Amino acid sequence: MNMALSGKRKLIILDRDGVLNVMQPQPISDPDQWHPLPGSMDAVAFLTQSGYTVVIAENMSGIGSGQVSMQQLNEVHGKMHTYIQKAGGRLSGIWFCPHTRNAKCNCRKPQPGMLLDIIDRLHIKAEDTWLVGDGIRDMQAIAAIGGHPVLVLTGKGKETLKLEELPDDTQVYDDLLDFAKFCRAQAEKAAEE
């Protein structure tokens, strides 16, 4: 599989908690609770500097349950943006589902609604889209639209790796930086050809 840029736009969708930042036992409601995982900010920089469009897609049931307000979420995302920009990276957007698990919506992963909205708004095909996550719902959501599942072994990734429901074509990396280095090498290889 060649993920190198070949004139087509490529999209990397990132789950947030457990991929970019340290998992917390409760929804993150304060910027002081948000701590980037080692190498994750450099990873976003590598991806964006290699020409990939990078966005976040996250289930945020803390909004629907009242544990997190929109103002608090925006403050957390403000801190995250600052760290990413300082590393030289860029996010092209943040999508989230605010609903609780019981809401039966189409946007909460593993349902495909949020991902379909992302690729529609960005005009990128599903086959040119990778979702990097640490949970089975992430893998199921991207597989449902015909994209590429990437499991990282941070967050709950090691537990997810043991599950039999993983899509057959799931790629596995130690962390986001490991995946980003692979993507960067592919982009550099394509540029040489």
Residue 4 within any structural domain of the chain: no
Which CATH number belongs to the domain containing residue 85 in this structure?
3.40.50.1000
Q: How far is CA 71 from CA 8, 34, 76, 95, 144, in A?
A: 36, 15, 9, 15, 32
Is residue 112, in this structure, part of any structural domain at all?
Answer: yes
Instruction: Report yes or no on 171 lying in a domain.
Output: yes
**pLDDT tens per residue across all 193 residues of the chain:** 334 444 578 999 999 999 999 999 999 999 999 999 999 999 999 999 999 999 999 999 999 999 999 999 999 999 999 999 999 999 999 999 999 989 889 999 999 999 999 999 999 999 999 999 999 999 999 999 999 999 999 999 999 999 999 999 999 999 999 999 999 988 888 888 7
Report the candidate in 170, 172, 164 with the shortest Cα–Cα distance to residue 147.
170
- Residues annotated within the binding site for Zn(2+) are 97, 99, 105, 107
Q: Which residues are annotated as a binding site?
A: 15, 17, 97, 99, 105, 107, 134
Active-site positions read: 15, 17
The answer as to whether 152 is a domain residue is yes
Q: How many domains does the chain have?
A: 1
Angle in degrees, CA 126, 149, 114, rounded to 5: 55
Evaluate whether residue 1 is within a structural domain: no
- In a domain? residue 129: yes
Its domain, for residue 95, covers 11-192
Residue 183 inside a domain? The answer is: yes
Query: For residue 56, with 0-12 CB atoms within 10 Å meaning exposed, 13-18 middle and 19 or more buried, which class applies?
Result: buried
Indicate the annotated binding residues for Mg(2+). 15, 17, 134
Q: Is residue 111 part of a domain?
A: yes
